[in-house]
Structure 1
Amino acid sequence: MLFFIAGSDTVTITLTWAAYSLALHPECQEKVIEEIDNAVKQNGVTYESLKDMTYLEAVINESLRLHTPDSLSIRRCTQETSVAGIKIHPGMSIEIPDSRHASRPGIFPEPDCFKPERFLQRQSSVRTRTGVVRA
């Protein structure tokens, strides 16, 4: 029940943007359809077949990068530090605007373009954690 209440909006927003992005990029849509067809033919509709859909996962990650449903991440400071002369003490909450990182050309070349392939590169510095793009 918690997922339904707390996660329904973010899941809905993510899937809506992913579907919209695929509609705008039919070449990506074809790759997703082919990947789903192949995975389902081999294993049926299972959790294992879903784990094999790497391009679909890349599409979701790219949609999250471009259209994050949450505007910021909140982290708790674990050790004393300072940023731009401001002291941050252990236990303080830090708010990090996610969209700023997702639009940096130094991290994501052509940041305004929908390119799921950027998440297929294993040597990439791009990582995801709980659906939030991190660099």
Structure 2
Amino acid sequence: MHGQAIVFILAGYDTVATVLSFTLFFLAMHPECCQKAQAEVDAKCGKEFPDYDKVQTLTYLDMCINEAIRLVPPGIFLNRKCVQDTDIQGVHFPKDMIVVIPVYAFHTDPDLFPEPEKFDPERFNPENKTTRHQYAHLPFGQGPRNCIGMRLALLELKMVMAAILQKLTPVPCSKTVYPIKLSKMQAKAQDGLWVKFQLRDAKT
């Protein structure tokens, strides 16, 4: 339990910062999505701080975050240990075998996500989510051993994103490199993530 508490706080720091950076970057590259997210934040939060109750209503912003996590998952693979002999579609998995789950491969499989390199938050609207296999999107794992900090991470992301979008608009700058060139073994842009921010309203 003590170890889980440490993971809960410390391991989520870099993950949240990474997802936040990529989400803002993708919104800068897709102004139509950014405008839609800002319109939702304006309608649901107004000028007030986006607290817990308010961010639960930000459906489109949640879609944007999930699409960013799909394109650049913080963990590109998961490891799981078989607790008993198992056969799945004719493949035998012996007890104690370590199974590597290729998260990034799932997230960029065109059979699961058509045009997988495209940033499209509509993939995660309520209708599309129900028609896709529940294990197609695995940024936090699945089942009883999924990420213990998932709900906290998503809450932090939505609160910070909403607070930023209330006052600022991310836009490309002279150093922006797009499409992103990712490092091979981690969710990191080789050329960095460069954007600039414009004030939405000088009075805010």
Q: Same fold (TM over 0.5)?
A: yes
Partner of 2:110: 105
Pair 133,92 (structure 1): closer, same or farther in 2 beyond 3 Å: closer
**5+ residue gaps, structure 2:** 143-204
Q: Normalising by structure 2, what TM-score?
A: 0.57
Corresponding residue SS for 2:79: strand
| Alignment root-mean-square deviation, CA | 2.8
**When you count strand as a share of all residues, which structure comes out higher?**
1
For residue 66 of structure 1, report the CA deviation from its aligned partner: 0.4
Per the TM alignment, residue 42 of structure 1 is displaced from its structure 2 partner at its CA by: 9.8
1:127–1:42 Cα change, 3 Å? farther
Number of residue-to-residue matches in the alignment: 134
Counterpart of 2:132 in structure 1 is 125
1:81 aligns to 2:86 (yes or no): yes
Aligned residue for 2:171?
none
Moved more, 101-110 or 117-126: 117-126
Q: Which has the larger radius of gyration?
A: 2
Residue identity (%): 33
Structure 1 spans left out of the alignment, 5+ residues: none
**Alpha-carbon spacing, 1:60–1:133, altered in 2? closer, same or farther (3 Å):** farther
Which of these residues, 59, 65, 74, is aligned with residue 60 of structure 1?
A: 65
Normalised to the residue count of structure 1, the TM-score between the two structures is 0.82
Which structure is higher in RCO with an 8 Å CA cutoff and minimum separation 6?
Answer: 2
Change beyond 3 A, Cα 1:102–1:131: closer
1:130 to 1:101, Cα distance in 2 relative to 1, 3 A: closer
